[in-house]
Structure formats: C-alpha cells, structure tokens
Amino acid sequence: MKMNRLFILLFLFLPLFLTSQNDYQGAREKMLINDIKSRGVKDKLTLQAISTVPRHLFVPQELRSQAYRDGPLPIGYGQTISQPYIVAFMTEAIQPKPEFKVLEIGTGSGYQAAILGQIVDSVYTIEIIDELHQRSKKQLQDLAYHNVITKSADGYFGWEAKGPFDAIIVTAAAEFVPPPLIAQLKDGGRMIIPVGTPFSTQQLLLVTKSKGKTKTKNLMFVRFVPFTRTTD
Ligand code: SAH
C-alpha cells in the first residue's frame, strides 16, 4: 500500500519536476541568444559554459524564476550576482583556454567561478564575506565543480601560493588595481577589473602584462558593488 502511494506521488510530481528543468534550459537558451550573442559575445567556450551552468541554482530560491533575466540579482549581504551578459563579456575578455589557471576576486554566488570552472583547468576564487564563501563553496561542491577552489579572505592580496595566474577576474569595483594582483599575473596574462568610485559608474579595465610591463585599456562603463577591505 505504502509503495503504491509512493509510485502515485512519483508519477504525479516527476513530470512537474522535469518540465521545470526544461523550462530553465529554455530560458537559458533564450538568454544566450537575446542578451549575450546579440551583444557580440562570440567565444565558443564562453557560450558553451553559459548554456551549461544552471544559473538558477546560484540565486536565492525565491528569485529562481528571475535567474535568466537580463540583469543582476541580489544574493544577500548587500551583494549581487552580475548580469549574465557582463559575466559572459568578462569571461570572453580573458580569452580563456582549457589549460588556464584563473584567479577570481569576489566569489559572491559562485556563478562566475562555475562558468570559468566549466572552461579552464583550475579556478581559485576568494570571497571576503564568510557567509557567502560558505554558501558558494557548498553550491560548487554539490554541482561537482571540483576544479574550483574557494577561500574566505581579502582578495586584495591575491593568492600568492597558487600564482602566477594566466588570467585574473575581479568582480567588485576597486579604486585602483591592487599591486599584488598585478604581481600574480603571468607574463602575457590578462586581468579584467572594474575600477572607479564606489556606487557610481566604473570603467571595466583590461590589464595586460607583457615583458614585465602592464598596459590598461577601458572596455566599457559598468556598475559593480564595492571592493571592500578587512579593517583588522
Ligand atoms: N562573481 C560574483 C559576483 C559577486 S559581487 C558572482 O558571480 O556572483 C562581488 C563580490 O565581491 C561580493 O560577494 C563581495 O563580498 C566580494 N568582495 C568585495 N570586496 C572583496 C575583497 N576585497 N576580497 C574578496 N571579495 C570581495
């Protein structure tokens, strides 16, 4: 009798579950075409990663239905998961390759780290808010992103023991490019970082390093949450 009930429940709810999964896949494909490809993102590995990573699992449960809309969303603690297009743009801008070791500052939800984890060999990601670090670490583990290594710390100092890195992505707006991050970028490497005054528009800078010399180029104007510092 109990078994029968279980089967009935399963038959009732399985289609519902499967439909919702398909809905998300559909929403993801629409987002890819309308908000990302249409704005010029072409890199195959980046597009493939965006179409694979379940963004809805990186936003708070009550916002899942909005996970694939064309904008940032709150993730708690005054922080946000970036707009999908910005994630795609920044990923493409580092010209990611499968053999890359990448450093990310500002793990937040873990979504950008998962996108990178889908493409490159290893991702080291640092988050300053411990609760967000714990949450994203669990989510990344649950989704089996074993090549994404997380740490709770002030990302200003980078992760010297694991460097130098082929590329660095900073997802919080700094007032200047932290010198330790430049030091941990490989020769020939690319860093992408929003720089400017907190709570206003910032410039998304591409910092390249060649023969020990760094060059910066403004790619676009953006608005990110501030890069904060631990005060102890
Ligand atoms: N990449 C994230 C975006 C998160 S928003 C995502 O895909 O969801 C930026 C994050 O940077 C916030 O979680 C914020 O707490 C974090 N942050 C700000 N200053 C930092 C610092 N000095 N070191 C590490 N993380 C920092």
Q: What region does 188 belong to: left with phi over 0, alpha with psi -120 to 50, or beta?
A: left
Measured between alpha carbons, how far is 212 from 179 in angstroms, rounded to an integer?
A: 13
What pTM was estimated for this model as a whole? Answer: 0.92
Q: How confident is the model at residue 9 (pLDDT cuts 50, 70, 90)?
A: low
Q: Is 82 one of the catalytic residues?
A: yes
Query: What average pLDDT does the structure give for the chain?
Result: 93
* DSSP bridge pairs for 126: 105, 151
Catalytic residue among 20, 51, 65, 82: 82
Q: How confident is the model at residue 230 (pLDDT cuts 50, 70, 90)?
A: confident
What is the CA(155)–ligand 1 centre distance, in A?
A: 9
Task: Tell me the DSSP string of 42-76.
Answer: --HHHHHHHHHS-GGGGS-GGGGGGTTSSS-EEEE
102-118 tens-digit pLDDT: 999 999 999 999 999 99
Is 96 touching ligand 1 by the criterion CB < 6 Å?
no
Is 124 touching ligand 1 by the criterion CB < 6 Å?
no
Q: CA triplet 219, 111, 41: central angle to 5 degrees?
A: 40
- Percent of the chain exceeding pLDDT 70 equals 90
Task: Tell me the DSSP string of 121-143.
Answer: SEEEEEESSHHHHHHHHHHHHHT
Report CA 82 to chain centroid distance, whole Å: 8
Atom of ligand 1 nearest to the CA of 115: 7
**Do residues 104 and 169 make contact, with C-beta atoms less than 8 angstroms apart?**
yes
Pick from 55, 125, 140, 225 the residue to mutate for probing ligand 1's pocket: most ligand atoms within 8 Å of its CB. Answer: 225
Is 80 touching ligand 1 by the criterion CB < 6 Å?
yes
Is 125 touching ligand 1 by the criterion CB < 6 Å?
no
Out of 4-13, 97-106, 117-126, 157-166, least confident range: 4-13
Is 103 touching ligand 1 by the criterion CB < 6 Å?
no
Mean pLDDT of 124-134: 98
The residue ranges of every structural domain in the chain are 2-222
Domain 2-222 top-level CATH class: alpha beta
Q: Is 177 helix (H, G, I), strand (E, B) or coil?
A: coil
Hey, CA dihedral for 93, 98, 100, 101, is it positive or negative?
Answer: positive
**Do residues 135 and 106 make contact, with C-beta atoms less than 8 angstroms apart?**
no
131-162 tens-digit pLDDT: 999 999 999 999 999 999 999 999 999 999 99
Looking at the predicted structure, is the pLDDT value of residue 15 above 90? no
